[in-house]
Amino acid sequence: MESIISVKDLSKIYIMGTTEVRALQSVSLSIQKNEYVALMGPSGSGKSTLLNLMGALDQPSSGSIILNGRDLTTLTSKDLDSIRNSRFGFVFQSHYLLPQCTVIENVLIPTLADGRRASTPEDEKRAVDLLERVGLQDRIQSFPGMLSGGERQRVAVVRALINQPALLLADEPTGSLDQHTAGQLAELLAGLNRDLKVTQVVVTHSQELAACMGLVYELREGRLAGSDPKAH
């Protein structure tokens, strides 16, 4: 199996005044290509901390994060910006769409980073194809304010995929949706893994969402408490 990203002995300590918060303690794991992994655990157990470290949104206190044979902890912030934009897609509990931009404009924003001033026709075709894939073909020119919460989250997923990232990282992507809409988004993510081979790590409190995933990692007080491999 081909490893997309490995973290080794990863620790994160937040210093708050005179107290230290040990958010993550010596976590090691590897994400393989095409895997669909759930990250679960109680509130405060370090899920977001681990996801943010894997996506180079934050720096660990110690340990290494290996992507394509390179340790991200040794890179400059400029290199990290570029890697973050080209290799990772992020989805959060809030969609973070720009209200003044249309759906397609929002989706194309990540294609404009790294000094590029215009999206290519290939980017645009890919955006339209992905929006069709998630059932939003009639909403391409809509503004986010005209969409439902579930539709906005689907736009956020498409935006996360527009640069063909090696890894989609999602932090409670269904957290602000009702149960029915959350179920639809869970199905969509499962379909992206199954059909488009999108490798994903998804933080979730939802047993329902975790049930469709190949592997469940459980964090407890900043440590990996176990993994529950399931047959796909």
Ligand X SMILES: Nc1ncnc2c1ncn2[C@@H]1O[C@H](COP(=O)(O)OP(=O)(O)OP(=O)(O)O)[C@@H](O)[C@H]1O
**Which parts of this chain interact with Mg ion (CB under 5 A)?**
48
Is the Cβ of residue 144 or residue 173 nearer to Mg ion in the bound state?
A: 173
Give the span between the Cα atoms of 144 and 68, in whole angstroms: 35
Least distance from C-beta 91 to ligand X, angstroms?
Answer: 14
Cα–Cα separations (whole angstroms), residue 62 to 12, 17, 72, 88, 150: 7, 20, 12, 22, 38
Least distance from C-beta 13 to ligand X, angstroms?
Answer: 9
43 touches ligand X (CB under 6 A) = yes
Is the Cβ of residue 23 or residue 158 nearer to ligand X in the bound state?
A: 23
Give the span between the Cα atoms of 8 and 11, in whole angstroms: 9
Which of ligand X, Mg ion, none binds 21 (CB below 5-8 Å, type-dependent)?
Answer: ligand X
Among 11, 45, 102, 119, binds ligand X (CB under 6 A): 45
23 touches ligand X (CB under 6 A) = yes
CB atoms within 10 A of CB 183: 17
Closest by CA to 4, choosing from 42, 40, 31, 38, is 31
CB atoms within 10 A of CB 59: 13
Is the Cβ of residue 40 or residue 56 nearer to Mg ion in the bound state?
A: 40
Cα–Cα separations (whole angstroms), residue 141 to 88, 111, 122, 168: 26, 18, 18, 25
Least distance from C-beta 27 to ligand X, angstroms?
Answer: 11
Among 27, 31, 36, 46, binds ligand X (CB under 6 A): 46
Phi, psi of 199 (to 5 degrees): -75, 130
Stretch that binds ligand X, among 27-35, 41-49, 101-109, 115-123 (CB under 6 A): 41-49
Residues in 134-163 at the binding interface with ligand X, rule: CB under 6 A: none
Question: For tokens 């937040």, what's the residue?
Answer: 14
Q: What residue ranges bind ligand X (CB under 6 A)? A: 14, 16, 21, 23, 41, 43-49
